[in-house]
Amino acid sequence: MRAVIQRVSRASVSSGGKPLGAIGHGLLVLVGFGRGDDSAAVAWMAEKIVKLRIFEDEAGKMNRSVADVGGGVLVVPQFTLYGDAQKGNRPGFDAAARPERSEPLFRKLVAYLAERTSLSVASGAFGAQMEVELVNDGPVTILLEREAT
């Protein structure tokens, strides 16, 4: 499971000109699922997202989590995080989980964040062509990965 996590001042996602989700200060999480990912990977990633200390404290050190600063989380599915372009110029997606496997995992991740935290959680739509807008704060961007077991 892979996630690109960006600290943002604001972020939104829409599809076909219709808004799907938006947050103010918080985290934009682009997430992709690999073939071997499961519910344990989802729980691990959700906990990392909630506890990741990438917001500054009074001393200017990255010492606060999104929960500590009262931020929101916008989760957007992005299977292209598993794109492999090491050979040739067209990426292959063999390592990405099939949609019928990854869509339930995506829903679990969003539900985990919404139900088990007090965070404001919004999401994109699985399988949709989406437009994502963000203002990166910092910029701060973190890549998290959990290898399938």
Which pLDDT tens digit goes with each residue over 17-48?
Answer: 999 999 999 999 999 999 999 999 999 999 99
Q: Answer yes or no: 78 catalytic.
A: yes
Q: Please say whether the beta carbons of 55 and 15 come within 8 A.
A: no
Residue numbers in the chain where pLDDT is lower than 50:
none
Measured in whole angstroms, the distance separating CA 32 from the mean position of its chain's CA atoms is: 8
Query: One of 79, 93, 126, 141 is an active-site residue; which one?
Result: 79
Q: What is the set of domains in the chain, with CATH numbers?
A: 2-145 (3.50.80.10)
**Beta strands at 2-15 and 26-32: parallel, antiparallel or unpaired:** antiparallel
Given the residues 78, 106, 141, 149, select the one marked as catalytic.
78
Q: Is 79 one of the annotated active-site residues of the chain? A: yes
pLDDT in the model for residue 114: 96
